[in-house]
Amino acid sequence: MQETGIVLSVHGKEAEVELTPASSCAGCALNSNCNPEKVQKPRITVTNSIHAGVGDWVKLEMNPGAPVASAFLIFTFSLFGLVLGYFAGHPFGALWEIIGAGSGFALFLGTIKLMHPILKKRRRFRPMVIQILSNAIPVDIEIKRNNSEKKRTAVED
């Protein structure tokens, strides 16, 4: 899965990239689900192994199996918690089965949320910059580089 975006900041081997919506997103019926507020373009932290600089327009790639693995982990783990909680409450009656199922689901979903910082550091789950497409900087984009804010504008021809 490939995306394009503009590098907003660089911190060591990581970069914050503002994604550019794909042309196919415009006609998608689920477009409003990706960015419901339409306030700003999505921003993600990526591995910057090719040393793209601030303002570079880059191509990103994500392991195609990562979204499937993430979905499998979330749904399977939370379903396991739901079933385990149900059977934990079973000896105490129907009300406790429901409470146990809900509690087990919430507990295991919370565990996944706690695991998120660990999993996002794994290279398999993190997008990476694979190509610098151009060194163009959009007009009036605010860019942070090494914790100091600078405002850069493109030169008009």
**Which pLDDT value is given to residue 19?**
83
Write down the pTM of the prediction: 0.54
What mean pLDDT comes out for the span 7-33? Answer: 73
Closest CA relative to residue 5, chosen from 146, 127, 150, 101: 127
Q: Tell me: domain 2-62+126-152, CATH 3.40.50, correct?
A: no
**Which pLDDT value is given to residue 40?**
64
Contact 2, 60 (CB under 8 A): yes
* 142 pLDDT tier (thresholds 50, 70, 90): very low
Distance CA 102, CA 85 (A): 7
Closest CA relative to residue 46, chosen from 153, 132, 135: 132
| Domains of the chain, residue spans | 2-62+126-152, 66-119
Tokens 């007009």 correspond to 139
**Residue 49 dihedral angles phi and psi, to the nearest 5°:** -80, -15
What mean pLDDT comes out for the span 71-75? Answer: 84
